[in-house]
Amino acid sequence: MSAVVLKPSFRPGLPEISSEPPAIHSVIEALSLQPHIEGGYFVETDRDPLLVPSPFPPIPASSLMPQRPGFNSAHRNASTSIYYYVTPQSPQGNFHRNRGRTVHTLHRGRGVYVLIHADEPDLPGGGKRIESFVVGHDVAKGEKLQWIVEGGKYKASFLLPDDPGAGKETSDGLLISETVVPGFEFCDHDFLNAEGLRALVGAKKAEELAWLVKK
């Protein structure tokens, strides 16, 4: 694991938009964001009308949960884009995986991304590779403005204070755009549970990362 500290800076509060402070509430309202099941807030901003053949192995109809009206599992939209916002009240996106590749672009704030490379062979010592990095505007310090997560990897994220040197641990939230290729569908998405986390990274690392698993 890298040197990035994997500890929460902010504790989740009431998961209600109305309980967010005014500066954050106004961003949520202006962008028409809704609570995301992963944590944080989102809105879909684009769904390319171009349909492409699904590049993914078919999912048995019996395990298909309810889908968007008109969804045909043989096709995908060529891409979809969302705004995604984690805030001091809803400060983390819990471990989940998409089958599509996701391009992330930072608009404001700072945070940490944690990836579990579930699609790679186990490390020589056992367990999957874990990667973490800071996303933020200080590119000279190695913070990322843009990051790509290939399909098949579990991803979690959490909020960091905007200005760690200022002695005050505050944030106006981490606002990004995500573009998924091919476009997002729930049948291509899954969450990691505590048991799955242990199976991927072993008991010790699972204990360290358990707070990033959806309850």
Contact residue for ligand GUN among 24, 28, 82, 112 (CB under 6 A): 82
* CA within 13 Å, CB half, 139: 4
The set of residues, in sequence order, having a beta carbon less than 8 Å from that of 138 and lying 6+ positions away, is none
Angstrom distance (rounded) from CA 121 to CA 183: 27
Site string for ligand GUN, 134-173 (x = CB under 6 A): ----------------------------------------
Residue 19 or 34 having the CB closest to ligand GUN: 34
Q: What is the smallest separation between the CB atom of 200 and ligand GUN, expressed in angstroms?
A: 21
Chain positions 12 to 31 lying near ligand GUN, rule: CB under 6 A, are: none
How far apart CA 118 and CA 200 sit, in angstroms, is 7
* Distance separating alpha carbons of residues 102 and 180, to the nearest angstrom: 4
82 vs 175, beta carbon nearer ligand GUN: 82
* Contact between 184 and ligand GUN per CB under 6 A: yes
Q: Which residue number is nearest to ligand GUN in terms of Cβ?
A: 184
**Beta-sheet pairing, 80-86 with 110-116:** unpaired
Size of the residue set binding ligand GUN (CB under 6 A)? 5
Single out the residue of 29, 44, 163, 208 in contact with ligand GUN (rule: CB under 6 A). 44
In the complex with ligand GUN, the residue whose CB is nearer, 151 or 164, is: 151
Q: How far is the CB of 47 from ligand GUN (least distance, A)?
A: 7
φ, ψ of residue 100 to 5 degrees: the values are -85, 165
Q: Residue 30 and residue 123: Cα distance in Å, rounded?
A: 45
CB of 184 to ligand GUN, least distance (A): 3
Q: Is the peptide bond before 69 cis (omega within 30 degrees of 0)?
A: no
Does 80 bind ligand GUN (CB under 6 A)? Our answer is yes
* Shortest Å distance, C-beta 88 to ligand GUN: 21
What residues make contact with ligand GUN under the rule CB under 6 A? 36, 44, 80, 82, 184
